């Protein structure tokens, strides 16, 4: 006769449910914290940098900011008493796109940022398109 509790034992089932609820609560708390971090990082201050003034001209840098987050959970295995898991992460990507320039008279101009790598890649794509489509005729 087995003196240990079986998986069908209501006490062990209740313990497993409590462990799974604990993991779910921990996952929800971590997802809320990550969401708050992402929200606080993706503000207008992140997109528009601090204004810099010199010689009667003010420059306000601007960037494209993207981000996201995700998470997971876990629990016990169907036929075992062990198991758990929680995972989450988030990331942000920022790239300068230009700056607003305000001169001494209050006139505002947009000066786009030129990304040399992006320009090179676009030039290569145009050249490839030319050789594929234009030379084929």
4 falls in which pLDDT band (50, 70, 90)? very low
Hey, what's the torsion of the CAs at 94, 66, 103, 105, to 10 degrees?
Answer: -160
pLDDT score of 21: 59
Stated pTM of the model: 0.49
Residues 56, 48: Cα–Cα separation, whole Å = 20
Average pLDDT over residues 51-66: 90
pLDDT tens-place string over residues 108-129 = 999 998 888 888 999 999 999 9
pLDDT tens-place string over residues 72-116 = 777 766 666 677 777 777 777 888 889 999 998 989 999 998 888
Domains of the chain by residue range:
10-134
What kind and span of H or E run contains 89? strand 88-102
Residues 25, 18: Cα–Cα separation, whole Å = 10
Q: Which position has the higher pLDDT, 91 or 11?
A: 91
Asked whether residue 35 carries a pLDDT value surpassing 70, the answer given is yes
Residues 96, 43: Cα–Cα separation, whole Å = 15
What are the residue ranges of helices labelled H in 1-137?
10-41, 44-47, 116-129
Average pLDDT over residues 6-27: 60
Residues 42, 47: Cα–Cα separation, whole Å = 8
With CA atoms as reference, report the closest residue to 95 among 76, 81, 80, 116.
116
């Amino acid at each position: 006769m087995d003196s240990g509790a079986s998986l069908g034992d209501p006490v062990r089932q209740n313990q497993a449910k409590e462990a799974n609820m604990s993991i779910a609560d921990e996952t929800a708390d971590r997802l809320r914290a990550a969401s708050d971090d992402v929200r606080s990082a993706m503000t207008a201050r992140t997109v528009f940098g601090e204004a810099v003034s010199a010689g009667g001209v003010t420059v306000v840098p601007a960037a494209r900011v993207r981000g996201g987050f995700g998470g997971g959970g876990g629990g016990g295995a169907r036929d075992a008493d062990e198991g758990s898991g929680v995972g989450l992460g988030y990331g942000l990507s920022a790239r300068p796109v230009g700056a607003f320039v305000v001169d001494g008279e209050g006139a505002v101009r947009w000066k786009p940022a030129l990304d040399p790598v992006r320009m090179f890649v676009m030039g290569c794509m145009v050249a490839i398109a030319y050789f594929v489509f234009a030379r084929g005729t």
